[in-house]
């Protein structure tokens, strides 16, 4: 019988206990994503490259968007844009799949002994794989254009971990809501588009009038994008104070989402 406890200790113990199953499900879903296509996993690299080319053309040539002078000396607009797109891509992929995490696996719901709480983790880890491929492209393109690697690049995982925790908490919440509210999938599409333009992906934060910057920082993408650029491109140390606050917020989101999922999962079988 699966324990539906919401305690942090039980949460960590569950992930450790089922780490092998989580790994197998992640690999299976990643392979299934490209199974049957001629390009196979090559699309995992081609897709971000094509999207970057499109956005760079629109915002860098048509609209002639420009970054600040100081940042432009350290990284080209293309690379700067790519970092924001990769971080948003992780966020968007995880959220877009969240409404169907439970609904799409009714056989797992009916298995009393299956740990449903690992399914959102599988979704976020799959999105992370795509993001890591994109980040590898960022590093290679940045090195090709500048001839240097950021000395603070090894700090990138430290910056992204709180963001992953926040995303996982949101996925837990949305995957539960998606069982009872099927229109959520359409709403998520609008939400991911809104968060993309309400984060400094195509423009620097300094371009936003000061009174409105607070709205940007309510978006979890904003801090993650800014700090990822700082350590991956500009050779700057993270904002340690901001990172601490972000980590606490990420942990809170993670646990609240997990607790909500555990409290509502008893009704999944009745709906499905």
3-state secondary structure of 216: helix
pLDDT band at 74 (very low <50, low <70, confident <90, very high): very low
Place of tokens 């966020």: 91
Closest CA to 108 of 261, 263, 260, 272: 272
pLDDT tens profile 104-119 = 888 888 776 788 899 9
Q: What is the mean pLDDT of residues 176-189?
A: 87
pLDDT band at 214 (very low <50, low <70, confident <90, very high): confident
Q: How many residues does this entry show for the chain? A: 272
pLDDT band at 68 (very low <50, low <70, confident <90, very high): low
Contact 216, 205 (CB under 8 A): yes
Q: Per-residue pLDDT for 162 more than 70?
A: yes
Q: What is the mean pLDDT of residues 198-222?
A: 87
Q: Per-residue pLDDT for 71 more than 80?
A: no
Ramachandran area for residue 250 (φ above 0: left; ψ -120 to 50: alpha; else beta): alpha
Q: Is the dihedral of CA 81, 234, 127, 32 positive or negative?
A: positive
Closest CA to 258 of 10, 38, 1, 46: 10
Q: In this predicted structure, what is the pLDDT of residue 82?
A: 84
Q: What is the mean pLDDT of residues 142-155?
A: 86
- What tokens were used for 76? 């080209």
Q: How far apart are CA 258 and CA 161, in angstroms?
A: 17
Contact 100, 178 (CB under 8 A): yes
Which tops the pLDDT comparison, 256 or 213?
A: 256
Q: What is the mean pLDDT of residues 66-71?
A: 54
Q: What is the mean pLDDT of residues 163-169?
A: 96
Range of weakest confidence among 18-22, 169-173, 202-206: 202-206
Q: Per-residue pLDDT for 222 more than 90?
A: yes
Closest CA to 91 of 15, 35, 155, 168: 168
Q: In this predicted structure, what is the pLDDT of residue 118?
A: 92
- What tokens were used for 151? 């000395």
Contact 173, 257 (CB under 8 A): yes
pLDDT band at 201 (very low <50, low <70, confident <90, very high): confident
Q: What is the pTM of this model?
A: 0.87
Q: Which of 55-59, 170-174, 178-182, 200-204: highest mean pLDDT?
A: 170-174
Q: What is the mean pLDDT of residues 7-29?
A: 88
pLDDT tens profile 23-57 = 999 988 887 776 666 556 677 777 777 876 776 67
Q: How far apart are CA 27 and CA 45, in angstroms?
A: 17
- The 10 Å Cβ neighbour count of residue 203 is 17
Q: What is the mean pLDDT of residues 6-32?
A: 86
């Amino acid at each position: 019988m699966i324990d539906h406890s919401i305690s942090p200790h039980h949460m960590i113990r569950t992930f450790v206990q089922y780490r092998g199953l989580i790994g197998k499900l992640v690999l299976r879903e990643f392979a299934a994503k490209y199974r049957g296509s001629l390009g196979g996993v090559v699309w995992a690299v081609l897709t971000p490259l094509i999207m970057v080319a499109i956005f760079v053309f629109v915002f860098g040539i048509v609209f002639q968007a420009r970054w600040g002078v100081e940042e432009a000396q350290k990284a080209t607009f293309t690379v700067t844009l790519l970092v924001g797109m990769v971080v948003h891509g992780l966020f968007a992929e995880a959220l877009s799949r969240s409404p169907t995490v439970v609904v799409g696996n009714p056989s797992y719901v009916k298995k009393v002994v299956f740990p449903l709480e690992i399914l959102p983790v599988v979704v976020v880890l799959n999105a992370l794989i795509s993001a890591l491929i994109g980040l590898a492209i960022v590093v290679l393109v940045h090195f090709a254009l500048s001839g240097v690697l950021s000395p603070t690049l090894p700090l990138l995982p430290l910056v992204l971990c709180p963001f992953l925790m926040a995303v996982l908490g949101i996925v837990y919440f949305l995957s539960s809501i998606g069982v009872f509210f099927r229109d959520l999938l359409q709403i998520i599409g609008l939400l991911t588009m809104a968060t993309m333009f309400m984060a400094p992906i195509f423009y620097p934060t300094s371009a936003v009038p000061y009174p409105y910057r607070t709205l940007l920082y309510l978006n979890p993408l904003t801090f993650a994008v800014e700090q990822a650029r700082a350590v991956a491109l500009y050779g700057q140390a993270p904002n340690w104070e901001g990172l601490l606050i972000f980590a606490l917020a990420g942990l809170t989101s993670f646990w609240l989402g997990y607790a909500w999922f555990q409290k509502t999962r008893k009704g999944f079988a009745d709906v499905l």
